[in-house]
């Protein structure tokens, strides 16, 4: 499996997974035209697209999904709530259910979901496994507060794409109205760099090859701040993989992680 982050940030999030010649998008938060442009630039053949997995319906995650789903005649793999939120304006959409106890398949990809606390209809963190290699990636944005269930769901994966939304000081001193600041830092909002580092500290294991910090706020975060907060937390628990920061305007990858996880020494 190969992972390409087509872009990530407050203004749009999308990544592409490629395995056995097939392509799955996880979120499609740019216009369809922009997604096609970025995929072409990254060498991702959207003609081989088999589905679009969605974390939730907010525009920065789903803006291009309806048009792409129609153009390539592929289903959405998402929660019933996310599908229901998009369907009224896009009645052609087809759905494969993802949720607790419901895995959806598209070609070699198997997609599972875990509920997250965020102010959307039925948001999920997603976990994707690919066919013969068994390679796995977890994607979690717009996290609010990470639950015990989410911590369990994201264990033992080969790659993690995790929200590092804001620096707490930059958010506190930003010119956002108080209500917006509270929404961002609240239980239905976004994960700070510090909280992201804490969560990753619990998720590191010998087989974790890549960590991608994603969904950075343009106003309340920088790549330098995110790395400064998360890097030491990862080093403290012996993380031996690669740490990346996904950008709003640039493609990241491809990241390869088809090697089997190193055996745990007990």
* Minimum CB distance to Zn ion, residue 1 (Å): 24
Measured CA to CA, the distance from residue 24 to residue 109 in angstroms comes to: 7
Q: Out of 18, 27, 36, 60, point to the residue binding Zn ion (CB under 5 A).
A: 60
Measured CA to CA, the distance from residue 139 to residue 4 in angstroms comes to: 13
Tokens of 11: 């203004």
* Minimum CB distance to Zn ion, residue 56 (Å): 6
Measured CA to CA, the distance from residue 7 to residue 143 in angstroms comes to: 18
C-alpha dist (Å) from residue 82 to 58, 243, 256:
9, 30, 30
Query: Which CB, 126 or 234, lies closer to Zn ion?
Result: 126
- Is 142 among the residues that bind Zn ion (CB under 5 A)? yes
- Is 122 among the residues that bind Zn ion (CB under 5 A)? no
- Is 112 among the residues that bind Zn ion (CB under 5 A)? no
How many residues are given for the chain? 266
* DSSP one-letter code for 123: -
Measured CA to CA, the distance from residue 174 to residue 171 in angstroms comes to: 5
- The mark string for 194-233 relative to Zn ion (x by CB under 5 A, - otherwise) is ----------------------------------------
Query: Which CB, 141 or 239, lies closer to Zn ion?
Result: 141
Q: Out of 2, 38, 58, 205, point to the residue binding Zn ion (CB under 5 A).
A: 58
Q: Which stretch binds Zn ion (CB under 5 A): 58-66, 128-136, 165-173, 205-213?
A: 58-66
Q: Which of 167, 109, 114, 168 is nearest to 141 (CA)?
A: 114
Site residues for Zn ion per CB under 5 A: 58, 60, 142
């Amino acid at each position: 499996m190969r992972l390409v982050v087509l872009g990530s940030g407050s203004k749009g999030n999308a990544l592409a997974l490629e395995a056995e010649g097939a392509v799955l998008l996880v979120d499609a938060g740019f216009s369809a035209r922009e997604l096609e442009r970025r995929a072409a630039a990254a060498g991702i053949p959207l003609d081989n697209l088999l589905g679009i997995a969605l974390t939730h319906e907010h525009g920065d995650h789903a803006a291009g999904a309806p048009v792409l789903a129609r153009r390539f005649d592929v289903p959405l793999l998402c929660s019933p709530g996310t599908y229901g939120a998009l369907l009224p304006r896009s009645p052609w959409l087809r759905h494969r259910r993802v949720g607790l106890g419901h895995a959806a398949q598209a070609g070699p990809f198997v997609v599972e979901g875990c509920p997250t606390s965020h102010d959307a209809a039925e948001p999920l963190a997603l976990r994707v496994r690919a066919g013969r290699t068994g390679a796995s990636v977890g994607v979690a944005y717009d996290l609010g507060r990470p639950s015990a269930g989410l911590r369990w769901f994201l264990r033992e994966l080969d790659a993690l794409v995790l929200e590092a939304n804001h620096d707490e000081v930059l958010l506190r001193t930003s010119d956002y109205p108080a209500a917006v600041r509270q929404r961002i830092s609240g239980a239905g909002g976004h994960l700070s760099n510090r909280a992201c580092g804490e969560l990753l500290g619990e998720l590191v294991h010998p087989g974790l090859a890549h960590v991608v910090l994603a969904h950075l706020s343009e106003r309340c975060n920088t790549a330098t701040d995110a790395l400064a907060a998360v890097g030491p937390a990862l080093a403290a628990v012996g993380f031996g993989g690669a740490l990346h920061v996904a950008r709003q305007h640039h493609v990241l990858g491809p990241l390869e992680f088809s090697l089997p996880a190193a055996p745990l020494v007990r």
